[in-house]
Amino acid sequence: MKSIGSYEAKTNLPRLLERVTRGEKILITRHGEPVAMLVPPPRKAPQDVRQIVQEMLEFRDREGPILGGKTTIRELIDEGRRF
């Protein structure tokens, strides 16, 4: 883990953030004492595909199909041809 002074961290923040993005941890010190640590955020756990599909189906059942005020797909197709 890299250690860096607070003044240097302030002046080089964009470069430090780029390093943290690549997974590096950086300890920030003030007068040699640790005061903060730059670390990558925790990774999101991937959602289960089955759960996502289930949520989509529940939304469809709850909200119903929406076709922009038209009642059929044919009406939407015909409207698109008018332009």
DSSP letter for each residue of 2-57: EEEEHHHHHHTHHHHHHHHHTT--EEEEETTEEEEEE-PPPPPPPPPHHHHHHHHH
* 44 lies in some domain: no
Percentage of residues of the chain with pLDDT beyond 70: 89
What pLDDT was estimated at residue 32? 93
* 18 lies in some domain: yes
* 70 lies in some domain: yes
Across 6-25, average pLDDT? 95
Residue 70's pLDDT band (cuts 50, 70, 90):
low
pTM (two decimals): 0.52
Residue 38's pLDDT band (cuts 50, 70, 90):
very high
Q: Which domain holds residue 73?
A: 49-81
Task: Read off the CATH number of the domain in which 8 is found.
Answer: 3.40.1620
What pLDDT was estimated at residue 34? 96
Which of residues 1 and 32 earns the better pLDDT score? 32
> In this structure, are 34 and 55 located in the same domain?
no
> In this structure, are 34 and 53 located in the same domain?
no
